[in-house]
Amino acid sequence: MTGPRARSETVEPARLERRLRLAAVLVVLGLAVEAVSFAALHAAAFFAFLAPGALLVGVGIVLYLWSIASDRG
Amino acid sequence: MLSIGTLFAVAVVVTVALAALIALRPELTRGRAGRVLAFVALFLLPALLTAGGLKAHMEQAKSTEFCLSCHVMEPYGESLWTEDPAYLAASHFQNRRVPRDAACYSCHTDYTMFGDVHAKVRGMRHVWVEFVTGPPPPEEIELYSPYKNRECLHCHAGARAFLENELHAEILAELRSEEMSCLDCHGDVHDVATVAERERWTAPAEVEE
């Protein structure tokens, strides 16, 4: 098949996978920061947990949800 | 038996491994199993772990060590060791009228239905001030609102020493209605401006934690 529809079917999976990869990287980084934040009982550790830790995880989750919601496949 | 902390750590490692797998091989998500994997690794587990982590951090934030980790709070921590028993915070801390590992939180939370939530919102604000806007000097720190007798009476009302004090019995109605403040008579609490000049109580080694 040729034309716009065929191009959409071949391009969309790659775009979706790029977004999922980015979402996964954000989640991994966020969880790593969150885990490290438990090494110390300090206000700075709490702050690190929230930002960037939880913020990265949150952006990763939103990106993942947006990716699958906007996926036309 | 695995502790909650160990289970939490294992869950973080598993989630990071699964999310890393998707980051390295996103083509796995083309199949049904891969989509389920992505849902678990990029939504379900991270959301649960972050919520659990936030709860754990909030619990840790009740500790005296946490409150005193901000430089500006150090004089307040030092005031707990003042030798003079007239100082309210020191006498409560040294006589274990409040748990030493939750001394600040015991007196500075609201004993109401949503008191914990209010205290934690205030704590978040304190963290913001400490790291973003910058705190005032210790001696200029003030409570957001006048200290309520409710927080004192949460422990003291009904306590024998409190009830058997004739003066307390006479003014109990005024205390309950907040017409009189406990601090009208017991006003020396922290006084951080002079704490460095006051004598310090040193707990015997066998009882200090």
Q: Is residue B28 part of a domain?
A: yes
Give the sign of the dihedral formed by CA B167, CA B173, CA B180, CA B92: positive
Q: Which residues of B touch A53 (CB under 8 A)?
A: 50, 53
What pLDDT score was predicted for residue B165?
93
* A46–B126 CB contact, under 8 Å: no
**Nearest CA of chain B to the CA of A7: how many Å?**
18
Q: Is residue B206 part of a domain?
A: no
User: DSSP string spanning B194-209?
Assistant: SGGGS-B----TTT--
Instruction: For residue A11, give both structure tokens.
Output: 């391009």
Instruction: For residue B122, give both structure tokens.
Output: 């205030």
The 10s digit of each residue's pLDDT in A40-67 is: 999 899 989 998 999 999 999 999 999 9
Range of the domain at B149: 64-197
A9 pLDDT band, cuts 50/70/90, is: low
Note whether B69 and B53 are same-domain residues. Answer: no
| Domain count of the fold of chain B | 2
H/E run at residue B118 = helix B115-128
Q: Is residue B37 part of a domain?
A: yes
Instruction: For residue A50, give both structure tokens.
Output: 């929230």
The 10s digit of each residue's pLDDT in B12-56 is: 999 999 999 999 999 999 999 999 999 999 999 999 999 999 999
Residue B84's CATH number? 1.10.3820
What pLDDT score was predicted for residue B127?
85
**Nearest CA of chain A to the CA of B40: how many Å?**
11
Note whether B10 and B68 are same-domain residues. Answer: no
Contact by Cβ (8 Å): B105, B96: no
Q: Is residue B205 part of a domain?
A: no
- Token look-up 């996103």 returns B26
Complex ipTM > 0.90: no
Note whether B88 and B45 are same-domain residues. Answer: no
**Is any Cβ of chain B less than 8 angstroms from the Cβ of A64?**
yes
Closest-CA residue in chain A for B44? A61
Of B42, B56, B70, the CB nearest to A27: B42
B206 pLDDT band, cuts 50/70/90, is: low
- Token look-up 């936030």 returns B54
Q: What is the mean pLDDT of residues A4-27?
A: 78
| Domain count of the fold of chain A | 1
Query: How many C-alpha atoms does B136 have within 13 Å on its Cβ side?
Result: 6
Note whether B55 and B74 are same-domain residues. Answer: no
Note whether B86 and B134 are same-domain residues. Answer: yes
Note whether B12 and B70 are same-domain residues. Answer: no
Contact by Cβ (8 Å): A24, B19: yes
Of A13, A21, A54, the CB nearest to B50: A54
Note whether B123 and B164 are same-domain residues. Answer: yes
Q: Is the pLDDT of residue B80 over 50?
A: yes
Q: What is the mean pLDDT of residues A8-24?
A: 81
Range of the domain at A39: 4-69
Choose the final residue of a domain: B41, B60, B79: B60
Instruction: For residue A14, give both structure tokens.
Output: 């790659």
Mutate to test the interface with B, among A28, A37, A47, A59 (most CBs of B within 10 A): A28
Mutate to test the interface with A, among B43, B48, B57 (most CBs of A within 10 A): B57
User: DSSP string spanning A3-72?
Assistant: SHHHHHHHHHHHHHHHHHHHHHHHHHHHHHHHHHHTT--SHHHHHHIIIIIIHHHHHHHHHHHHHHHS--
Note whether B42 and B109 are same-domain residues. Answer: no
Note whether B41 and B119 are same-domain residues. Answer: no
* B12–A44 CB contact, under 8 Å: no
Q: Is the pLDDT of residue B1 over 70?
A: no
What pLDDT score was predicted for residue A14?
87
Note whether B91 and B168 are same-domain residues. Answer: yes
Nearest to A17 by CA among B189, B24, B126: B24
